[in-house]
Structure 1
């Protein structure tokens, strides 16, 4: 009888321990993931955009997590906090334009920063769906490697509230079709994006809202460039 009681008590303690561990998980309202495939000529621009994110982020219920693969550096994971950033993880050298390796990174972030919803910013070069003589319909560039759009779609491990492409030419209906089951909204340009990219200090507050006004996100982007002078306007 004593042995049976001990076994029963041990089983109950195990159940309680498991339940407590589950309850300790804190879910943010949203985790925004910025995936920067910048092991190329855009590395300096990526660093500038990270600085903009630090200046624009000021949310208490949103995680802003950046994966940055830059030239001449090992890839790393940053948690953006107001006016600063914390390095969370340093990866070994990887090909950030490889769909399988991108999936591993996204799964890492989702495990580390669980949330009720997710947003994704894909930051790099892009060719989208150019005329038929272009061999790739791609996102990302890492030492000559590019990621096929169909492979990109298959590698996304969860559904995203939005996918924002800070990459040229990704605002194509063919891209939207490939991603139709992966996201509710796509923010992208059908033409080139100037090297400065999106003004993150201005759009991160918009993307952190519980109900995002995507028309407003587009207007913020347009107004930023419309107010510039010369060739950058």
Structure 2
């Protein structure tokens, strides 16, 4: 399938071309309202899509009268430099007109330290009342990055010359709190991922499944992008769903959720309090799978379907209520890439047997430590 954002192979840009490049501007005014940051890890097969995302933001900005907020985009799509852009209005879809505010040395493959460096620079240079963050690249839920595993290469987040950013390192690299974080990357609405980021933002907007190569429709979501209110994050997610829901064929494939991260503690505490016998016969037989890409590194199951097939009625009702409280918005097309979605709760969950090679990493995730959800070993 050549339309998946997490595996798409695109045309390679011959070079970075921006119409206006200038050195750091010490007189850049302090922003008094909101700074929204689009962070694009695109030194991989998504270079062309990164360029389109910036152009879409420029076109959307040309229709906006916003004067109190700032949209910045950091893009790394080559082996030498990353560029911080100030998004400027422009209706030419073939030309990037945004000013380059700063060039960052990026001769080493991207990692968590680079993310921290860029975001710290933005925080110190463009002080605002609120910050929003869009993390744009490849994604594979909580799967450990390739350099942390002897398994075949995976894409935890990002991809730069074979190097990926581990999800735990990514969490620790974020130097400030955000109104919301959007994962414009595949399969990041995993409860394991979300729980790691619960203290980093108020909301996360993400897909429990793949994200098609078009990604988020930035022209459509721009009217709501500089806010962080519950209503606006719902509108962002709704605009994403509506964009794909009117497509035809396999392009009509979308799942999206908005999670109130402050509600996840209650969910984890309830599950961790259940009697051991509730978890002794955990099984994934018949549970809706949400990992549809061939060779996806870790299993992803629909959270609600897993709960409904493994716990007593009383516990199911309580967990569903806690899940409902945490989900601000969720929606899905009836099928995803030809796979019927019989169940969709808005989140995914992984459950591994202790013999799985990824289990030691999985057991170290905060969600796993709290809930201790794992599968019994199969009998020989």
Structure 1 pair 96/208, CA: closer, same or farther in 2 (3 Å)? Answer: farther
Structure 2 residue aligned with 1:149: 167
Structure 1 pair 230/117, CA: closer, same or farther in 2 (3 Å)? Answer: same
Counterpart selection for 2:89 from 70, 82, 103: 82
Counterpart selection for 1:227 from 239, 246, 263: 246
For 1:197-217, what per-residue CA distance to the aligned partner results, in whole angstroms no more than 9, with x for missing partners? Answer: 000011121112463522221
Structure 2 residue aligned with 1:31: 35
Query: 3-state DSSP class of the match of 1:145?
Result: coil
Once superposed, which parts of structure 1, at least 4 consecutive aligned residues long, lie more than 4 Å away?
130-137
Q: Is 1:216–2:231 an aligned residue pair?
A: no
The alpha-carbon deviation at position 96 of structure 1 amounts to 5.9
- Distance (whole Å) between structure 2 residues aligned to residue 227 and residue 94 of structure 1: 42
Q: Give the conservation status (yes or no) of the 8 Å contact 2:31–2:69.
A: no
The alpha-carbon deviation at position 125 of structure 1 amounts to 0.2
Give 1:30-69 correspondences, 5 Å limit.
30-57=34-61, 58=64, 59-69=66-76
TM-score in terms of structure 2 length: 0.52
- Distance (whole Å) between structure 1 residues aligned to residue 173 and residue 81 of structure 2: 22
The alpha-carbon deviation at position 48 of structure 1 amounts to 0.4
Structure 2 residue aligned with 1:71: 78
Q: Give the conservation status (yes or no) of the 8 Å contact 1:136–1:148.
A: no
Q: Give the conservation status (yes or no) of the 8 Å contact 2:73–2:86.
A: yes
Query: 3-state DSSP class of the match of 2:157?
Result: strand
> Which blocks of at least 5 consecutive residues in structure 1 are unaligned?
1-23
Counterpart selection for 1:129 from 138, 142, 149: 142
Structure 1 pair 88/223, CA: closer, same or farther in 2 (3 Å)? Answer: same
- Distance (whole Å) between structure 2 residues aligned to residue 209 and residue 125 of structure 1: 25
Q: Give the conservation status (yes or no) of the 8 Å contact 1:95–1:101.
A: no
Which has a greater percent of strand? 1
> Which blocks of at least 5 consecutive residues in structure 2 are unaligned?
1-27, 91-96, 253-380
Structure 2 residue aligned with 1:103: 116
Q: Give the conservation status (yes or no) of the 8 Å contact 2:34–2:226.
A: yes
Structure 2 residue aligned with 1:163: 181
TM-score in terms of structure 1 length: 0.83
Query: 3-state DSSP class of the match of 1:142?
Result: coil
- Distance (whole Å) between structure 1 residues aligned to residue 109 and residue 86 of structure 2: 19
Structure 1 pair 174/135, CA: closer, same or farther in 2 (3 Å)? Answer: farther
Which has a greater percent of helix? 1
Counterpart selection for 2:215 from 197, 218, 225: 197
For 1:12-50, what per-residue CA distance to the aligned partner results, in whole angstroms no more than 9, with x for missing partners? Answer: xxxxxxxxxxxx963331100111000000000000010
Counterpart selection for 1:138 from 156, 160, 166: 156
- Distance (whole Å) between structure 2 residues aligned to residue 186 and residue 74 of structure 1: 29
For 1:58-110, what per-residue CA distance to the aligned partner results, in whole angstroms no more than 9, with x for missing partners? Answer: 32111100000013663111000222411111222244640011100111111
Q: Give the conservation status (yes or no) of the 8 Å contact 1:97–1:139.
A: no
- Distance (whole Å) between structure 2 residues aligned to residue 168 and residue 41 of structure 1: 14
The alpha-carbon deviation at position 143 of structure 1 amounts to 0.8
CA RMSD between the two structures: 2.3
Query: 3-state DSSP class of the match of 2:141?
Result: coil
